[in-house]
Amino acid sequence: MVSSVILVPALLNGLMTGAVYALVALGLTLIYGVLHIINFAHGALLTAALFAAFFANKLLGIDPYVAALFLAPLFFGIGYALQRFVIGPAAHGEDRNILLVTLGLAVMIENALLYAFRADTRTINLSYAFDVVEIGNSFLAVPRVVAFGVVVAIAALLWFAMRWTDTGKAIRAVAKEKLGAELSGINVAHIYAVTFGLGTACLAVTACLLIPTYYINPHAGNAFVLIAFTIVVLGGMGSVAGAMLGGLFVGVVESFSGLYLGESLGQIGIFVMFILVLLFRPSGLFGERA
Amino acid sequence: MPEPFLSVSELHTGYGVTEILRGVSLAVQPGEVVAVLGSNGTGKSTLNRTISGVMRSWRGAIRFDGVPIERKKPSDIVAAGLIHVPEGRRIFPNMTVRENLDLGAYRRNRTRRTPSRDRVFGIFPRLAERQSQQAGTLSGGEQQMLAIGRGLMADPRLLILDEPSLGLSPLLVEELFALIRTIAAQGIALLLVEQNVAQSLEVAQRGYVLDNGRVVLEGSADAIGNDPNLKRTYLGM
Ligand SMILES: Nc1ncnc2c1ncn2[C@@H]1O[C@H](COP(=O)(O)OP(=O)(O)O)[C@@H](O)[C@H]1O
Ligand SMILES: [Mg+2]
């Protein structure tokens, strides 16, 4: 047995990693739940957001946490426009077209970033990047604690907005009953774009939370999106609560796998669990859809 | 003669390459109740979907209140006061009765919701009792009333009802037709698509019979009801 001196910090660190995974998964599952498409451009858009956060800091000296305040609306706008003016019209209502369009977008974004910035890996230096706080007996990196808090706040805000605002209700209506929503006067193309925008805004916030402690290169987003896909499946496709719980769960699994199997094998635990869930609970770990 | 409130002229449409409507023309005057009859699969729902803009017309014109609408978005057609209560209800099962109704008024000013809701509750008192119940847990009859109630929340000037009596018990069908009369009495024009021939022709002033994507019979409700060909030839009864 490993003592609680090691287990508790591993658990807390796992939850914090998991929160960031959850935010990536949240965007993905939101788009899946409403548009019923898998957005293959999610990883490339995360990479683009990482570059945006990077250059906001390198060129303009803006702290990543401050940058989140304008990158989130900016990426909302980018996501909105992509869905409304590119993906939607190009797809002609055919799901397999949408799949190809988002895949094509991913290739374009990644190659543009590769062309502009080469394959170099970059980092930024922040005074607080290595600060730690002590919680119980655990020392936790400040940027990770901030990330956890921000993700929990965003999830709560989103939950509230989905239940209590007109647009939130319209999004839920379109997700569950598109024809009924259309005939109620809800502009489905607009709601699709808003949802895509929200999913993309999640990525901008993720990028700002990651950049203090993470490196970037033109493929950086993909590692997260692969994990986010597994979370979306674990949490039940389209379930917002499932994405949150699934994200935290996956973070903890990774952390404990790292503890028992060694740092470099941490992520193997995720995929082993993923395959087990697909075999035994194909509808996901956490029941119902949002 | 003045231009009709709703006019459909020589409408053609279909799915993929299969033509379903082969030149349908019909008209509804303000405040008029018009029945559209026809056996299963003749294209009645397709006609409704094309009028409300969720399906594109291939050819032909649709005008509502003097304005061409065949190229408009469904949400703009709703905003103009032409509301389609679809076959199969299409309510939001995971939301409360009240949320369903409020979404019906999505395009309108928020301040209009309470008076509209009160009006709907006046017509359907049972919805008032079930306000905070999840719509998915309502009985079939209640779900149909909710679907119509949601349509009324948009303040329709013309309401299309697609097979509202489908799946209801005879007693509930009686009740439903009484409610349809109440709605018509408020001056809302109705395009009533039904399999329930006798009862629809009782509420309607005029009617059209559709067969194989074409209008094969039209006229006053009485004339249609008395047509010797109606049941055997067109409705396959
Ligand atoms: N989504 C669809 N795709 C292909 N064919 C359809 C679709 N919906 C209806 N149809 C076909 O169109 C014809 C008319 O259908 P519909 O308008 O629903 O008839 P009705 O409402 O009069 O029963 C039917 O033959 C039906 O099979
Ligand atoms: Mg039908």
Residue A126 pLDDT: 82
Distance CA B165, CA B179 (A): 12
| pLDDT tens digits along B37-50 | 998 999 999 999 99
d(CA A191, CA A85): 13
**Residue B58 token pair:** 């291939």
* For the CA of B86, the nearest ligand: 2
The answer on pLDDT for B13 being more than 70 is: yes
Min distance B56 CA to chain A CA atoms (Å): 13
Contact A18, A147 (CB under 8 A): no
B34, two tokens? 């018009």
Does the reported pTM lie above 0.90? yes
ipTM surpasses cut 0.90: yes
More confident residue, A1 or A96: A96
Mean pLDDT across A159-178 = 94
Handedness of CA A6, A9, A10, A11 (dihedral sign): positive
A 10 A CB-CB count for A117 gives 15
Summary mean pLDDT of chain A: 89
Domains and CATH numbers, chain B: 1-81+157-237 (3.40.50.300), 90-155 (no CATH)
Q: Is B236 in the pocket of ligand 1 (CB under 6 A)?
A: no
Question: A187: CA distance to ligand 2 center in Å?
Answer: 24
Contact A186 B75 (CB under 8 A): yes
Q: How far is B222 from chain A (nearest CA, A)?
A: 32
Which pair of tokens denotes residue A158?
């989103």
B108-124 burial code (b ≥16 CB/10 A, e <16): beeeebeebbeebbeeb
Alpha helix stretches (DSSP H) within B20-169: 44-51, 74-79, 97-104, 113-123, 125-129, 140-152
pLDDT band of B51, cuts 50, 70, 90: very high
Q: Per the structure block, which two tokens stand in for B69?
A: 């609408």
The more confident residue out of A129 and A105 is: A105
Tell me which DSSP letter residue B237 carries: -
pLDDT at A290: 38
- pLDDT score for A92: 78
Q: Which range is least confidently modeled, A108-117, A168-177, B153-162?
A: A108-117
Share of chain A above pLDDT 90, in %: 55
- Rounded CA separation B185/B178 (Å): 11
User: Which residue in chain A has the smallest CA separation from B91?
Assistant: A180
- Taking only the tens place, the pLDDT of each residue in A222-247 is 888 889 988 988 887 778 888 999 99
Residues of B in contact with A181 (CB under 8 A): 92, 103
* pLDDT value for B236: 67
Q: Tell me: pLDDT of A289 over 80.
A: no
Q: Residue B25 CB: number of other CB atoms within 10 A?
A: 15
For residue B4, the CA-to-ligand 2 centroid distance in Å is 24
Q: What is the 3-state secondary structure (H, E, C) of B153-191?
A: CCCCCEEEEECCCCCCCHHHHHHHHHHHHHHHHCCCEEE
Q: At what angle do helices A4-35 and A188-210 cross, to 10 degrees?
A: 160
- For residue B3, pLDDT beyond 50: yes
User: Per-residue pLDDT averaged across B153-160, rounded?
Assistant: 96
Q: Is B44 in the pocket of ligand 1 (CB under 6 A)?
A: yes
CA distances from residue A86 to A30, A72, A187, A199, A239 in whole angstroms, order as listed: 19, 20, 17, 16, 26
